[in-house]
Structure 1
Amino acid sequence: MNEPYPYPASPVMTRDQSHTLFAQTMGFVALTAALFAAGAYLGRDLGGGAAILFYLLSFAALFGMQFAARRSRELTIGLLALFGLFIGLGVAPTMSYYANQNPQALWQAGGATALFIVGFGAAGYATRRDLSVLARFAFWALIALIGFGIVLIFVRIPNGALIYSILGLVIFAAITMIDFQRLRRSRDIQSAPLMAASIFLDILNVFLFFLQIFTRGDDR
Structure 2
Amino acid sequence: MDDTYAYRPAGLAARDRTNTLFAQTMGYVAVTTGLFALGAYLGRNLPGGVAFIAYLAAFATLIAMQFSVRRSRQTTVGLLAAFGLLIGVATAPTLVYYAGTDPQALWQAGTATALFVAAFGAAGYATRRDLTALARICFCALVALLVLGIVLIFVSIPYGSLIYSVLGLVIFAGFIMFDFQRLRRSTDVDAAPLLAASIFLDILNVFLFFLRIFRGGNR
- Kindly state the Cα deviation for residue 46 of structure 1 after the two structures are TM-superposed: 1.4
Amino acid at match of 1:51: A
Q: Does 1:167 align with 2:172?
A: no
- Kindly state the Cα deviation for residue 158 of structure 1 after the two structures are TM-superposed: 0.7
Q: Give the structure 1 partner of residue 32 of structure 2.
A: 32
* Other structure's SS at 2:71 match: coil
C-alpha separation between the residues in 1 aligned to 2:98 and 2:106? 7
> Could you list the per-position Cα deviations for residues 64-103 of structure 1 after superposition, in whole angstroms to 9, with x for gaps in the alignment?
1000102100000000000000000000011011111111
Amino acid at match of 2:107: W
Q: Give the structure 1 partner of residue 210 of structure 2.
A: 210
Structure 1 stretches of 4+ with a deviation exceeding 6 A read: none
The root-mean-square deviation of aligned C-alpha atoms, in Å, is 1.2
Q: Give the structure 1 partner of residue 180 of structure 2.
A: 180
Q: Give the structure 2 partner of residue 76 of structure 1.
A: 76
C-alpha separation between the residues in 2 aligned to 1:133 and 1:49? 38
Q: Give the structure 2 partner of residue 54 of structure 1.
A: 54
Q: Give the structure 1 partner of residue 45 of structure 2.
A: 45
Amino acid at match of 1:34: G
C-alpha separation between the residues in 2 aligned to 1:52 and 1:107? 25
**Would the aligned equivalents of 2:14 and 2:187 in 1 still touch at CA under 8 Å?**
no
C-alpha separation between the residues in 2 aligned to 1:40 and 1:204? 13
* Other structure's SS at 1:215 match: helix
> Could you list the per-position Cα deviations for residues 93-122 of structure 1 after superposition, in whole angstroms to 9, with x for gaps in the alignment?
110111111111101100000000000000
- Compare 125-134 and 72-81 and name the one that shifted more: 125-134
C-alpha separation between the residues in 2 aligned to 1:172 and 1:96? 24
TM-score relative to the length of structure 2: 0.93
Amino acid at match of 2:144: A
Structure 2: state its 5+ residue gaps.
1-9
C-alpha separation between the residues in 1 aligned to 2:110 and 2:175? 19
TM-score relative to the length of structure 1: 0.92
**Would the aligned equivalents of 2:17 and 2:188 in 1 still touch at CA under 8 Å?**
no
Q: Give the structure 2 partner of residue 19 of structure 1.
A: 19
Q: Give the structure 2 partner of residue 154 of structure 1.
A: 154
**Would the aligned equivalents of 2:176 and 2:202 in 1 still touch at CA under 8 Å?**
yes
Amino acid at match of 1:136: R
Q: Give the structure 2 partner of residue 134 of structure 1.
A: 134
Question: Percent identity, aligned pairs only?
Answer: 67
- Kindly state the Cα deviation for residue 17 of structure 1 after the two structures are TM-superposed: 2.1
The alignment of Structure 1 onto Structure 2 pairs a total of residues equal to 209
> Could you list the per-position Cα deviations for residues 127-186 of structure 1 after superposition, in whole angstroms to 9, with x for gaps in the alignment?
000111111111100000000000001101111000000000000001100011111111
Q: Give the structure 2 partner of residue 122 of structure 1.
A: 122
* Aligned pairs for 1:93-112 within 5 A: 93-112=93-112
**Would the aligned equivalents of 2:21 and 2:187 in 1 still touch at CA under 8 Å?**
no
Amino acid at match of 2:21: L
Q: Look at both structures and tell me which one has the larger radius of gyration over its CA atoms.
A: 2
